[in-house]
Amino acid sequence: MVGALKLVLASSSSRRVKVLKNLGLNPIVIAPKGVEEVLEGPAEEVVRRNATAKLRAVLEEVRAVTEGVSSKVVVVAADTIVVTREGRVLGKASNIEEARKYLKALRYGRHSVLTGVAVALIESGSLRDEVVDVVETRVKMRCFSDEELEAYLRSGEPLGKAGAYALQGLGALLVERVDGDPYNVVGLPLARVNELVVDVAGVSLLEEVTRAGEG
């Protein structure tokens, strides 16, 4: 990434990478290793813990590769879950049966999508600052039919998605309304990420993109 800021995304999610690249950013992507996502406990604490764990899992590697680098290095990690109207936490659907169960639980009502975002600043190989926040978006599902549900399952898209649907894909056809940041449902609430980057680094992603364009 050109400019005074280097951006590292601590994630194995192609969706999060694509969201940033669509802005004109080109993050260094480092997948967190050895992190077991937890789903037990209050929903906000779950995503805070998971995002922080992902962030810290890559910090040593980031410090090693950026030692002596004069520019600021910002590391971003995120974790997204879905919370049903009954308060049940849904993570990523690992198989079709689990996806079917998740989508039936979400049908006919509203649910929350929570993303924990952890952002750290590294300068000259040293950790200078770290912040963590949680963003919530409310989603109302359509009263989609069993036939639509099975068609969506056949697409394969629900697998590996929090709550078993993707707002940026065919899953959008199941959604009636989104209250809040739609990017949060995709997995990376861009406006809040930008604010946290400003908090730790004093530079916004918008400034970086336009600076790179001028160069």
Predicted confidence (pLDDT) per residue in 26-54, tens digit: 899 999 998 888 888 999 999 999 999 99
- Domain hosting residue 206, numbered range: 5-214
Q: Which pLDDT band holds residue 2 (cuts at 50, 70, 90)?
A: very low
Number of domains, the chain: 1
Give percent above pLDDT 70 in the chain: 94
Which tokens in the block code for residue 210?
Answer: 């336009």
d(CA 114, CA 74): 22
Higher pLDDT, 189 or 64: 189
- What rounded mean pLDDT belongs to the chain? 91
pTM strictly above 0.95? no
State whether residue 127 is helix, strand or coil: strand
| Residue labelled with tokens 């800021």 | 5
Q: What's residue 213's pLDDT?
A: 58
Is 79 catalytic? The answer is yes
Please give the residue that has the higher pLDDT: either 67 or 116: 116
CATH code for the domain in which residue 143 is found? 3.90.950.10
Candidates 193, 92, 122; CA nearest to 206 is: 193
Query: What are the residues whose beta carbons fall under 8 Å from the beta carbon of 157, sequence distance 6 or more?
Result: 165, 166, 169, 170, 171
pLDDT for residue 65 is more than 80: no
